[in-house]
Chains A and B, each alone.
Chain A
């Protein structure tokens, strides 16, 4: 076949898109959440932020409290039900929702469908953001967060997105999908082991020689940047959404979103 309109085969873009900030995004990782909004808006998406959202419950489940986790999951399902798509900058939360819905609850078909239209940031941008023009000189190395790579099975979308950024070099590091040691409550229960694992990861990042360590999980990034700031090596971290936002070619940025202003790290 010839002369096929490249957009013709693409699925129609969801109309109502909600951002699931994640509790981590609200508490300590606002930068990635803001960058997600800015990128989605550059795609022409109107992002809604459901006010009542809190947390998906993952910390409770992984700490051995499924009842408490389930209560928060129920709330999550109610709050996000009205939307055509949910996008989150937290790969781990997306994975949790996909994997544990059926383990914590006996979901209705509607609830299953809601999870099916819940996307990790890069999945959504790769699916619907073909028109974005991206350029950013420099180099990055991508850390696969465990839940995103293994539970959600998503290793391709973030790399595809990075590869679409002109002038950006992507350097794969050794053991790119080896756990960084964050592990949620593990980081606090076994701090020494967790930190030793961070050191291993930071060592391979430094050896890659990349300018930035990029990941799609605020948890890993807080852990790794916290360790780097405390004890080195001087690795600079960036959430994938922030890299993509920084790479937006200016004409693509709708006026008034303030994408040029510095976002707190």
Chain B
């Protein structure tokens, strides 16, 4: 095998990285507190335009409302996605059997390290120097690109959005549209730096620029790495939906195809794709169906003219099966449409998923990330939500994200290092407010504080008031209890 270099990435050293630390492909292990990161995120120049674009998209698509036809699909889809949960392992075994019968090799990976090791070994054993990849959040989760690169295997993202964030050394900021935080001009600038030349901001030209550069890599790559949208247990079919057709290339051109899925991607029946693909496409892009649906049924068989020689399916757990049987298991019904992210006003305001400082941002990220990886990691994410509920309305499989966020907040509070003090405060509050006298005492204290202390001073006192007062006038505390006094005083006046 000759030494192969990516042509799509040629010139990469010319790119001047221009991104906040928390947008990086590899998340810094000791990240700063979320309130500070999100505060900074508001000042990033792309934040406001991103917000405005997403808010317009949200209005235009009527995110959160469903046509009668799709509403019916939604009911069926929600049920299908929960069918596997009571016995996920059985479905995975059935899937494994059928993929193997089709000539594929199945690898189970409990951890990201396991998954990385398997893929690296497959690449090494086959002398792979260059891999092309179609969109896969599972490979983001295991930080596959940096791992393979560190082992001398070049990886090229072939989804346009993924290619853009790869060049910019960032993570996807949205699970379906990875570069939605970048304007056309941002992309033109990036491509311009790569090419060492002016590149026009015309969307067709930008796509053509990427396609031309990627073409040679599709030919040269020894390995294609893809994600999986749905894996049908009864036939062993791996379904991948794209609008660019790059998954067709990734899964058919190179000698080896490695598909990476997480455990919950398994669905009971091939026929369920008839519900789930249109549902996914409606939620993700408001299409009736995506431009391409790639169905992989094993490697090239005797007598076939194309397809890879080897098919490997890597099934990653990474903590998910621990959620089975708990109220949090509904997270595993997710079909990764990204609609909850578009619907989320917090996600939009902070300019996309990066400030969440996890592989998955937005509402789905806030309920999924805490379940992954080491316990305690990302457990504060569920607080980064105003619990407005737009995500639930937007979810094609009806995951009760707000309820799950509330559950996870309770788990965070139970497990935090200073849990006892935190709880003690709330317990004291609850004990006081469990009596009429205690509550009236609070009202009297608030009124007194409101009367005696100037707002400037009130705003500096420790407690929630300080967070509040930074950008808002305080409520009129001196009127605490005024309503009760009025009500009961009136009774007396009227005798």
Contacts and interface: CB of A to CB of B under 8 A. Distances in A.
The majority secondary structure among interface residues of chain B is: helix
A179 B390 contact: yes
Interface string B420-445: 00010011011001111011001100
Given A195-B470, A196-B349, A62 B406 contact: yes
Contacts of B472: 195, 198, 223, 226-227, 229-230
Chain A CB within 10 Å, residue with most, of B387, B442, B446: B387
A185 interface: yes
Given A175-B55, A193-B38, A231-B471, A150 B429 contact: no
Contacts of A226: 468, 472-475
B482 A72 contact: no
Contact of A175 (B38, B59, B393, B443): B59
Contacts of B483: 21, 25-26, 30, 33-34
Given A179-B345, A183-B387, A150 B430 contact: no
Contacts of B465: 188
Contacts of A147: 387, 389
A230 B471 contact: yes
A31 B222 CA distance: 71
A129 interface: no
A44 interface: no
A146 B390 contact: yes
Contacts of A28: 446, 475-477, 479-480
Contacts of B35: 189-192
Contacts of A137: none
A223 B373 CA distance: 37
Interface string A220-240: 001101110111000000000
A188 B464 contact: yes
Interface string B454-494: 00000000001111101111111101111110111010001
Interface in B316-352: 345-346, 349-350
A49 interface: yes
A59 B434 CA distance: 14
Interface string B243-258: 0000000000000000
B385 interface: yes
Interface string B371-389: 0000000000001111111
B136 to A, nearest CB: 30
Contact of B467 (A191, A230, A256): A191
Given A72-B433, A150-B390, A179-B386, A189 B467 contact: yes
B477 A27 contact: yes
B480 A227 contact: no
Given A178-B55, A184-B387, A230-B472, A193 B436 contact: no
Contacts of B59: 174-175
Interface residues of B, number: 70
Nearest to A32: B483
A65 B425 CA distance: 10
B114 interface: no
Interface of B: 34-35, 38-39, 42, 51, 55, 58-59, 345-346, 349-350, 383-390, 392-393, 402-403, 406, 409-414, 423, 426-427, 429-430, 433-436, 438-439, 442-443, 446, 464-468, 470-477, 479-484, 486-488, 490, 494
Closest CB pairs A-B (n = 3): A183-B386, A30-B483, A226-B472
22 contacts: A26-B484, A27-B480, A28-B477, A37-B487, A61-B406, A64-B412, A65-B413, A68-B429, A69-B430, A71-B434, A185-B383, A188-B465, A190-B34, A190-B346, A191-B471, A192-B42, A192-B470, A194-B386, A198-B472, A227-B472, A229-B473, A230-B472
Interface of A: 21, 23, 25-30, 33-34, 37, 49, 51-55, 57, 60-66, 68-69, 71-72, 75, 103, 146-147, 150-151, 174-175, 178-179, 181-198, 200, 222-223, 225-227, 229-231, 256-258, 264-265
Given A49-B488, A223-B472, 16 more contacts: A26-B439, A27-B446, A28-B476, A49-B487, A54-B434, A64-B406, A65-B423, A68-B426, A69-B430, A72-B434, A147-B389, A179-B390, A183-B388, A184-B387, A226-B468, A227-B471
